[in-house]
Amino acid sequence: MRFVQKWSYSCARHLALVLNENHNRRSVYYYGFYIVFGTLVKGIILISVALLLGILVPSLLIVLVLSSLRLVAGGYHFDTYGKCLLVSLILIVIAALITQHTYIYWSTAFIAVFVLLVFSVSFYMLAKYAPKDTPTKPITDPQAIKRFKKLSIAYLGILLIISCILLLYNLKMHVLAISFGVLFEIFSITPAGHSFFNKIRDSLSRR
């Protein structure tokens, strides 16, 4: 979205002028403002759509799990903010709709099996592919790779414990939302996920 870029550049330029900073510092400010404004815009749009469709709780849970696990496991990045927003919004809304409108039909036993499958596969994928870096921010230090891998596996373990506790209290919708959040993040670090998102990126670029 160009307005996010314009806001970020204007704020970075103004701050650099006030502080009498050079071009390199202005670039750092620009990146910081871009992240802040981008997150705010994405959050406002997601919350607005979720409220309109009546899926606020599962949407927020999916985003919380996905984004927090992404901090330590990495994942796919689109080349523009607009593509990221569009694809993320569609996937999150679809998953939240499924969660909101189908959880009453899931038996506790079936959800337990689903959670077991999701987390078993996720532990394996994290051990194999995490952390997934980006070309602009590569992780090359072996110690850093090992640390992020351990952190991501440990955090997934915490999410599994939380899911089990929620299931004991029959909060099936919350458990499903957490599972979808985990699935989206794990998919984004796999080669299959990167191939899938690359095809979407190329299709959106042509349009």
Q: What is the pLDDT of residues 11-25, one digit of tens each?
A: 877 777 777 777 677
Low-confidence ranges of the chain (pLDDT < 70): 1, 3, 23, 28, 30-31, 134-137, 207
pLDDT number for residue 152: 96
Name residue 175's amino acid: V
pLDDT number for residue 111: 96
pLDDT number for residue 180: 97
pLDDT number for residue 136: 59
pLDDT number for residue 99: 97
Tokens matching residue 33: 């403002």
Nearest to 119 by CA among 58, 180, 57: 180
Tokens matching residue 93: 């809304």
pLDDT number for residue 135: 62
Please give the distance of CA 207 from its chain centroid, rounded to a whole number: 25
